[in-house]
Amino acid sequence: MVVVIVILVLVAIGVAIGLWWSRNRQQRPAPLAAPVDPLAEGRGGPLEGLGVGAVVAFGGHDYVVRGEIRFDEDGYVWSEYHLDAGGDERTWLSVDLSDGTDVALWRPAEDAGELEPSGPVTHGGRTYKKVESGKARFTSTGTTGVPDSGAAWYVDYKAEGGKRLGFERWSQEGSWEVSTGEVVPAHLLEIYPAGRSSGAGA
Amino acid sequence: MSDPVAGAPTPDGGPVAAARTAMEAAREATGAAITARAQALAEAARLRERSQAAGGLAELTSSANAHDARAARLDARIDQLRDLAHRAEVAYEALRADRGDADDQPAPSAPAA
């Protein structure tokens, strides 16, 4: 009889402890959410829906996004989108959201010749100054002309008026691909996202 | 829309959410039509190259012309869809703005006893 009473008391103590712990856990204040930049690019921004299969309208042209190369240099990420307006010219859209919204449209540099990224570079009557260079890991989706993943080397130049000159190569011994770019205000781009049924003909 | 009993505004995402869905659907339809036009033009170019490589094969040229004609017909549809997408965006933003104005209004005072 005494044993039964002791067991009942122990069970009651256990239940009381459990109820106290549960109530204490519920009353514990939720951890504070990490601060969020209220002006950061996000849902509803001008680039919402940009991705492979989407359409980008700019400057009177409609470009189908055929591929994306996503770069990562020690956590610093940006993307380049392969745009196709139906012609032979390869057009790229670079998007860098790490520090504001930096968008630029790129085309192969005409008469690049033997341009090399060393010191200031003069091309097309403009003098470009080097701003940064590095090596980044990349992953590719869709049609881009590069492997699915790998390493890329880049050197970026800038001139007045938002003009850019970019060097990229996909192996340390490979030749540089030279492109000229112009900064594009993101709000001037019209993005038509790829539908859930993308790929089906009209 | 405010709650007259509690005196505080309640979430009213119905029309705003529906307008956003409509806007997104219109944008997707526009993108799909533009993509279809691009595919038709690419196919026309491919067939013309093949025709030229085959010494001007008439059947291939005819098929290329058909794809070009299809792309041209899509131009009018694309313009309509683009206009629809813009209108849907204007309506959506207006609804959002209206909702924001409603949220900024002071809560109605409690009815006198």
Contact B27 A86 (CB under 8 A): no
Residue A71 pLDDT: 97
Are the CB atoms for A126 and A140 separated by under 8 Å?
Answer: no
Q: What is the ipTM of this complex?
A: 0.74
Map tokens 């390869």 to a residue: A90
Q: How far apart are CA A102 and CA A100, in angstroms?
A: 6
The total domain count for chain B is 1
In chain A, residues with a C-beta closer than 8 Å to the C-beta of B36 are 201-202
Give first-to-last CA distance, chain A, whole Å: 84
Q: Using 50, 70 and 90 to split pLDDT, how confident is the model at B79?
A: very high
In chain B, residues with a C-beta closer than 8 Å to the C-beta of A198 are 31-32, 35
3-state helix, strand, coil in chain B (%, to 5): 80, 5, 20
Domain that holds residue B30: 16-98
A185's CB contacts (< 8 A; 6+ apart) are A103
Distance from B26 to chain A by nearest Cα, in Å?
9
Distance from B61 to chain A by nearest Cα, in Å?
18
Asked whether residue A44 carries a pLDDT value surpassing 70, the answer given is no
Contact B38 A64 (CB under 8 A): yes
pLDDT in tens, A82-114: 999 877 778 999 999 887 779 999 999 988 778
